[in-house]
Structure 1
Amino acid sequence: MKHATVQALDALEPLLAELRTLGGMKEKKRGVFYVKSRAFLHFHEDPAGLFCDVRLDLPSDFERFAVNTSAERRRLLERVARTLAPV
């Protein structure tokens, strides 16, 4: 599975814009977010669609989420927001 292309990231721009509002992350490159100095979230694409790899339980391994529908994107946003919420 390859990293998301510019065209794929263009299609995900509304999701990226919402992710940017969450805080707690730094977007080092378009669509690649870090928490502190550790990679936290990035996107992939393949014939099955678009996917996001994210570390929901820091410092866990990445979990993969499909982000092809608005429901999938909402689910991802909710999970990321919970992970980044102050304790």
Structure 2
Amino acid sequence: MKHANGAALDRLEDLLSAIRTLPDLKERTRGVFYRRSKSFLHFHDDTTGLFADVRRGGEFERFRVTSAAERAAFLEAVRAELIG
């Protein structure tokens, strides 16, 4: 599964905008977020849809983020991970 390119990230701009408002994250390159000095969140594009990998409990967990409902659930999981 390849990392999301600019066109794929364009389709996720609403989600990226919401992530940018969350605390403790720094977007080092478009769509790649770090928390402190560790990679925390990035996106993939696949023939089956768009996916996000987020670090939860020290391991990356993959979420499908193709639909609006999937994006909303993903954003809640990210918020929960950041808040603890």
Taking structure 2 as the reference length, the TM-score comes to 0.96
SS at the partner of 2:56?
A: coil
SS at the partner of 1:62?
A: strand
Instruction: Report % sequence identity.
Output: 55
The CA deviation at 1:79 is: 0.6
The CA deviation at 1:20 is: 0.5
Root mean square deviation, CA, Å: 0.8
Runs of 5+ unmatched residues, structure 1? none
Counterpart code for 1:68: T
Moved over 2 A (4+): none
1:9-36 CA distances to partner (integer Å, 9 max, x unpaired)?
0000000000011111100000000000
Q: Measure the CA separation in 1 of the matches of 2:71 and 2:81.
A: 15
Q: Measure the CA separation in 2 of the matches of 1:38 and 1:76.
A: 19
Q: Measure the CA separation in 1 of the matches of 2:59 and 2:42.
A: 13
Give the match for residue 77 of structure 1: 75
SS at the partner of 1:40?
A: strand
Give the match for residue 12 of structure 1: 12
Does the 8 Å CA contact 1:56/1:79 hold for their aligned counterparts?
no
Counterpart code for 1:75: A
Alignment of 1:5-84 (within 5 A): 5-57=5-57, 60-84=58-82
Taking structure 1 as the reference length, the TM-score comes to 0.93
The CA deviation at 1:68 is: 0.5
Q: Measure the CA separation in 2 of the matches of 1:22 and 1:3.
A: 22
The CA deviation at 1:56 is: 1.9
